[in-house]
Amino acid sequence: MHVGDGAVLLFPADGKPAQEPVSHALWVYVDDLDAHHAHAVAAGARVVEGLSQQGFRSYVAEDLDGHRWTFVQASPAMRADPR
C-alpha cells in the first residue's frame, strides 16, 4: 500500500496461525532511521528491538495494541524525488 511519500509492507508471520495475536509483520521504510528512532524513543515508544544491521538497518517498536512495526532505512533509490 502506498501512503503519501512512503509505502507500508505487510508480510505474513511465518508459521503463525491467523488466530495467534501476531499474524503479520509491518515494515515501514523511512528516509532517516536514526532521526525516526530518536523521535520515537523521545515520544515514549516501546522499542522491542533496537537499531541493528542485518543486511539493512532497522528497529522494531510495538504499538499500544501489541502490533510490531519494523522501521527500515530506505535506500537512496527509494527516496522521493526532491523536485
Q: Can you give the pTM of this predicted structure?
A: 0.69
Neighbours of 40 (CB within 10 A): 16
**Cβ-contact 58, 68 below 8 angstroms:** no
Q: List, in sequence order, every residue forming a beta bridge with 26; answer none if it has no partner.
A: 10, 69
Place of cell 524525488: 81
- What are 21-78's pLDDT values in tens digits? 656 678 899 989 999 999 999 999 999 999 999 889 999 999 887 888 999 998 877 6
| Cβ burial 57-68 (10 Å sphere, 16+ → b, else e) | ebbbbeeeeeeb
